[in-house]
Structure 1
Amino acid sequence: MAETAAMPASHPERASAADWIAVAAGSLGALMATLDISITNSALPQIQGEIGATGTEGTWISTGYLMSEIVIIPLAAWLTRVFGLRKFLLGAAVLFILFSMMCGLSHTLTAMIIGRIGQGLTGGAMIPTGQTIIRSRLPMSQLPIGMTLFGLIVLLGPLLGPVLGGWLTENISWSWCFFINLPVCIGLIALLLLGLPPDHPQWDALKQADWLGIAGLSAGLSSLTVVLEEGQRERWFESNMIVWLSLLSLAGMVLIAISQFTAKRPVMRLSLLRNPRYASVILIVLVVGAVFYSVIYLIPQFLGLIAGYNAEQSGWVMLVSGVPAFLMMPMLPRLLGKVDFRIMVITGLMCFVVSCMLDIHLTAQSVGHDFFWSQLIRGAGQMLVFMPLNQASMAAVTREEAGDAAGVYNMARNLGGSIGLAVIGTVIDRRNTFHVATIRESLTANSVLGQDRLAANAAGWFARTGDMAYAKMRALGQLAAQIQQQAMVITFSEVFYVLGIALLCCIPLALLLKTPSYGAPAAAGH
């Protein structure tokens, strides 16, 4: 398989206005899709109360979106060939509006989950297609600008979601977390009509479709996502649901593997991974995706459980990591055209590692500003890692393979996120239990510090209530809460340490990356 793409001789050296409008449309669609992953997190308690769902049932509002999104991402390239890029994206945008309205008007859990699954299917299709538009419409000399814009949007979407969702919920209504998609989608539709030329569907692609691979992909990836998202809450294989879904996921993976040998054009082209440069990108983005989504989960959890922040306040802390993205955006296209990708990615990974190590010294008194420097360094690391990886994934394949490559790339990033969240969820649960038990064992009846703390707390409560029995009970409760808090702080510090080590392990893979030649003539290979 060729590692590089040959540029058609007829492709212009400079993109036209229509090309840039198409790029803007693809980027806006990707922003909407990534934003909707996290925008409901802030509003989840209010949504659950409105539709009468329990906390466990409410998790399906997020899981439904993720399971459908991860299925549609690798299918997007095939669907684009069937319907044509313009018709496919216009249809996805219209359906996304309808499903968003359904979510905003929902009064039952069933309607909400159906709407979220629909949002995931239609919104998820816009992520790889946006990347494909940039790769196919821009000449190599302008590819860094387009990919920087796209990468910035994909990074900022999950960061903006909690802040925007929290503000809308507090000041207007949780329904506006979904209604806000209406004006955005109308703008997207206008850009698509202006920027993309009319195209014709290829219905023959339906007859020649890899239906075995489509069935395996749909069953395997959706089941795997549910297992990863719900496994910890269901106590993993103690749950019959998790056992059956794991078996279904395994069966789906077997069907995908078989389709690689039986289908004329597999719906998921795993043969792209034979290219070591592309494979190294996928492995790095899998791990970095796991760390990226884990950090987005960990910091708000710490601020909520330890510092008492609400979702909107935590969201503002998270936005600090977006500041380097805006500061670096003007210079990144130039860096991407001149600096070796291996140097950029390794530097970015080291920034990520340093930011994780800064967060291993947390205490029960840590608040939002204690994350300031780690967030800034992490934000710089994200840009230096994701921007070159975005372009390296596209530069490693031909133009004809760009759609399939974008699907596998984005699927790997999202799958890495699900795996990362599942792993750290299990680690947090088990390590927290261990630390609680360890601290309790040290606070025996012979512990002078423990007895002094109990006596001081009891005296304080007795002064307020005049009831010594009640005062002792409250003092014991306070001590138990403090033990839980300290155990949680230790656990979070350990998780940040593990994430840093995982990133260090990616550095050797970065040596396999290849920097594309952006200054090559249009007809030359790159």
Structure 2
Amino acid sequence: MANAATVATTQGAPQEANASVTDWIAVAAGSLGALLATLDISITNSALPQIQGQIGASGTEGTWIATGYLMSEIVMIPLAAWLTRVFGLRRFLMGTAMAFTLFSFFCGMSSSLTGMILARVGQGFAGGAMIPTAQTIIGTRLPRHQMAIGMSMFGLTVLLGPLMGPVLGGWLTENASWRWCFFLNLPISLALIALLWTGIRPEKADLQQFIKADWIGILGLALGLSSLTVILEEGQREHWFESSLIVGLSLLMLLGFILIAIGQFTARQPIIKLSLMRNPRYASVILIVSTVGAAIYGISYLLPQFLNSIAGYNAQQSGAIMLLSGVPAFMMMPILPRLMQRYDSRWLVGTGLVLFVISCMMSLNLTVDSVGHDFDASQLVRGFAQILAMMPLNQITMAAVLPHEKGEAAGLYNMSRNIGGSIGLALTGVLIDRRSSYHDAMIRESLTANSTLGQDHMAAQTASFMSQGGDQALAQLQTVGQLSRDIALQASVMTFTDCFYLLGIALALCIPLALLLKKPTLALSPAR
């Protein structure tokens, strides 16, 4: 009887109309903008050595080319909802798209480190606006029964951007010039501007929103998030709190977070709406996406490092292995919206997290002889895991809040993913440094002069070196040097295994949070 009543009620309910062509143009514009912004996070990674050589920057200075982009992007993401209300969505997005084009041109023309960093900061600030606004466009322009398609498009761009960046950057650097990592954005940005003009209706600016803004919170946001990003990016290289730079930035970060907290109580409309975290479903999404972000960014750092330092792969070869995790995204794209409409989001996200854990555990048997194809299976499993975990989360974010809160919810969601990624990278760097030293010391401690196996190994190596020419003393020195390199290599492999294991544990702890999620209520598709 209950089922019959439900069917009758559903049949009697008015059905939502499909999205118009203009709506889909707006969604395409938002997704293209998000792809540009996420692609440029990592497109310079493979080209950094060439860029540093051309602009006269050292290895440490060159890291600011990536850090400057991340720092400004993460500040802009939560500001996007407010600036959209101030200027109107079309005016704001077209302005940021033009700024992104201009700063991309300046990046490509840069001949000094200062000019490059300033251009990257501007590029990141403009790009940061494109990520949450894409999610907002989808959440406000598509009817509920087509929301899954739009969110799948958005999620696909966010996943593929960081994966494609190093590969595309490496190819352009090898076959053209590193400057094309930035000039490539120019025609794409022009296409984006045309789509924005066509797909988004003009809105009146509301300058009262600018005057009455939460300026205390905005100042706190700029200080807190930019300082946090630099601390996480540079902390390991600067030896954390042994550095006066890190100590000073930590104080600025603390001041910024205090100002954000003050804004929560004094502003009529806080710049970051932390009250959204009172919603347990939304809070669960934020915790899960932060952890998944840490895992995605952490593995995107770990895997190329292993392939480069252990297997001897170059950037292009490593990128090909990384791209394997994008294959499932293309395979599932046609069926994912139907899965999201038919099955409970808790089960989809939970399945994705379980697969993510499995993919990490598949990398626990690494050896010094492991090469790229040893990661093929784990990368494919990880690809299915990412799309099953992330796609429903994109949709749940919009469904868990009220319509007027969608902009703030999208900003906090994307900010959390990026901060989670930065934390994942920082912790991975610390773990590699500390565990490498630990394993190296433990292996050396276990080797004693009384070990028969050790003596036989040393004697065989010495004889091998002597057969290549040279006296016994030189052969013994070469043997000791080779043993030291072997120990360091074994310690590195054990460290990479530790990192995959801990990332798997962190993801496993998020699985119970998936139970707090709820499948968004979707309307039936209208008859065709």
- TM-score normalised according to structure 1 size: 0.95
C-alpha distance in 2 between matches for 1:470 and 1:117: 53
**Structure 1 residues 469-484: aligned runs within 5 Å:** 469-484=473-488
Over 3 Å counting, the alpha-carbon distance change for 1:214 and 1:246 in structure 2 is same
| 1:290 positional shift | 0.8
SS in 2 for 1:125: helix
Match of 1:3 in 2: none
Match of 2:446 in 1: 442
Match of 1:276 in 2: 280
Matched-pair contact (CA < 8 Å) for 1:103–1:116: yes
Are 2:211 and 1:239 equivalent residues in the alignment?
A: no
The alignment of Structure 1 onto Structure 2 pairs a total of residues equal to 514
C-alpha distance in 2 between matches for 1:208 and 1:450: 74
Match of 1:216 in 2: 220
With CA pairs under 8 Å and 6+ residues apart, which has the higher RCO, 1 or 2?
1
Matched-pair contact (CA < 8 Å) for 1:148–1:387: yes
Q: Which residue among 463, 468, 473 is the counterpart of 2:467?
A: 463
Matched-pair contact (CA < 8 Å) for 1:210–1:266: yes
Are 2:152 and 1:148 equivalent residues in the alignment?
A: yes
| 1:376 positional shift | 0.7
C-alpha distance in 1 between matches for 2:525 and 2:303: 46
Are 2:184 and 1:180 equivalent residues in the alignment?
A: yes
Structure 2: which amino acid aligns with 1:478? Q
| 1:83 positional shift | 1.2
Q: Which residue among 38, 42, 55 is the counterpart of 2:42?
A: 38
Structure 1: which amino acid aligns with 2:161? G
Matched-pair contact (CA < 8 Å) for 1:314–1:368: yes
Q: Which residue among 156, 162, 167 is the counterpart of 1:163?
A: 167
Structure 2: which amino acid aligns with 1:225? T
TM-superposition CA deviations, 1:223-253 (whole Å, max 9, x none): 0111111111111111111011011101101
- RMSD of the TM alignment (CA)? 1.5
Match of 2:340 in 1: 336
C-alpha distance in 1 between matches for 2:453 and 2:127: 56
Are 2:351 and 1:347 equivalent residues in the alignment?
A: yes
Are 2:377 and 1:365 equivalent residues in the alignment?
A: no
Matched-pair contact (CA < 8 Å) for 2:359–2:379: yes
C-alpha distance in 2 between matches for 1:138 and 1:11: 14
| 1:35 positional shift | 0.5
| 1:471 positional shift | 3.0
Over 3 Å counting, the alpha-carbon distance change for 1:10 and 1:58 in structure 2 is farther
Matched-pair contact (CA < 8 Å) for 1:13–1:141: no
Match of 2:118 in 1: 114
Query: What is the percentage of aligned positions where both structures have the same residue?
Result: 65
| 1:467 positional shift | 4.3
Stretches of structure 1 that go unaligned for 5 or more consecutive residues are 1-8
SS in 2 for 1:359: coil
- TM-score normalised according to structure 2 size: 0.95
Over 3 Å counting, the alpha-carbon distance change for 1:301 and 1:239 in structure 2 is same
Matched-pair contact (CA < 8 Å) for 1:74–1:267: yes
C-alpha distance in 1 between matches for 2:15 and 2:201: 16
Please identify runs of 4+ aligned residues in structure 1 that moved more than 6 A: none
SS in 2 for 1:505: helix
SS in 2 for 1:466: coil
Matched-pair contact (CA < 8 Å) for 1:103–1:178: yes
Matched-pair contact (CA < 8 Å) for 2:16–2:525: no
C-alpha distance in 1 between matches for 2:472 and 2:47: 42
C-alpha distance in 2 between matches for 1:452 and 1:111: 58
Are 2:207 and 1:199 equivalent residues in the alignment?
A: no
Match of 2:491 in 1: 487
Match of 2:501 in 1: 497
SS in 1 for 2:311: coil
C-alpha distance in 1 between matches for 2:409 and 2:359: 30
| 1:342 positional shift | 0.5
| 1:420 positional shift | 1.0
C-alpha distance in 2 between matches for 1:453 and 1:108: 52
| 1:459 positional shift | 3.0
Over 3 Å counting, the alpha-carbon distance change for 1:453 and 1:109 in structure 2 is farther
C-alpha distance in 2 between matches for 1:301 and 1:284: 26
Are 2:389 and 1:382 equivalent residues in the alignment?
A: no
**Structure 1 residues 393-404: aligned runs within 5 Å:** 393-404=397-408
Are 2:298 and 1:294 equivalent residues in the alignment?
A: yes
Match of 1:320 in 2: 324
SS in 2 for 1:15: coil
Match of 2:143 in 1: 139
